[in-house]
Amino acid sequence: MIYKRKKRLNVSRNRARGFLQFLFWFAAVAFLSLVIYVLFFSSFLAVTSVVINGTRNVSQDSILEQINPEISGQIWKSINKNNLLLVKKSNIQKNILEKFRLIRSVKVQRKFPNKLEIVVTERTPTMLFQGANGCFILDENAAAYDSANPTAEEVVRYNLPQLNDADGKNINLGDVVLDSDYVTYIAKVREKIQNDAEVPIENTFQTPSLISKDIRAKTQEGWEIYFNESLSVDKEIEMLNAVLAKTIDKNQRLDLEYIDLRIDNKVYYKFRDGTPEEAARLAASAAEQAVKDAATAPASPSDNKDEKKKK
């Protein structure tokens, strides 16, 4: 009898243990199903806000056009792609960088529960460079990041100076084309001419050779001004203003071919008829200096006697 009672107790315990195991696994499956539903099928983690920071020249709407395909539609016709956990950050980065070369880098961040933040870093366009194989936009590091049509609306609005290379250098995207100091120098030449000299110039500069560091600016009157990076822009503009104010009349400018400012304290210029104006200018300067020297020289004894007689 005792044996039968023990057997009944063991059966009851096994049934209880089996029921508890069933409850445990049922609860676990139910909890797991709930978690999966909340994470992937409910709207709890659905992306409802996309914030874009760091834009200056690229419109946020155009960036959104590259993001929307990655957060629209469904995966396997059952799971929405706008789920924050399923958003493919690498795809968004790739789409934006391929579309906008002006953008240097893209960082995609998930902000729980339903926000996507895009942080972009733009390049700063500084110059157009015309090489043998086309025109390119240079960034703040003087690297070519995109080819360009100088007359295109999106390029014109930057109002960038353009440098044409007579040597015809071939350019590849990513190449550092110029020394950054040279780019700064050209930008300063344009700024100083516009602000400190009454000479309207075109936005395109020429260089016979990048090694020479020469820059030739063409005025809207048709003549050119020669600069070189070896001299400070301030000194060159000072010499330009001096020669235009004291030597060349405004009505003579239309006949000018060039003014050369590349030598310190000397200004060479030439008219289209080939008149050696520099020689004439130097002769005039020598005469003026002779007059000044005579005026400042001490008086001779004979001059003093003449003055006494006059008195």
Q: Where are the domains of the chain?
A: 1-42, 49-122
Q: Please spell the DSSP secondary structure of the chain, one letter per residue.
A: -HHHHHHHHHHHHHHHHHHHHHHHHHHHHHHHHHHHIIIIISSTTB--EEEEES-SSS-HHHHHHHHGGGSSSEETTTEETTBTTT--HHHHHHHHHHH-TTEEEEEEEEETTTEEEEEEEE----EEEEETTEEEEE-TTSBEEEE--TTSHHHHTT---EEEETT-----TT-B-S-HHHHHHHHHHHHHHHHHSS--EEEEEEES-TTTTEEEEEETTS-EEEEETTS-HHHHHHHHHHHHHHTS-GGGGGGEEEEEEEETTEEEEEETT---HHHHHHHHHHHHHHHHHHHHSPPPHHHHHHHHHH-
At 31 the pLDDT is 64
Lowest mean pLDDT among 29-33, 222-226, 246-250: 29-33
pLDDT(188) > 90: yes
Looking at per-residue pLDDT, the higher value among 216 and 170 belongs to: 216
pTM of the model: 0.71
Q: 174: which 2 tokens? A: 């990513």
What's the pLDDT band for 302 if we cut at 50, 70, 90? very low
Q: Write the class of the CATH domain 49-122.
A: alpha beta
At 34 the pLDDT is 57
Tell me the CA distances in angstroms from 11 to 19, 20, 57, 236, one per residue in order. Answer: 12, 14, 78, 107
What's the pLDDT band for 33 if we cut at 50, 70, 90? low
Total residue count of the chain as it appears in this document: 311
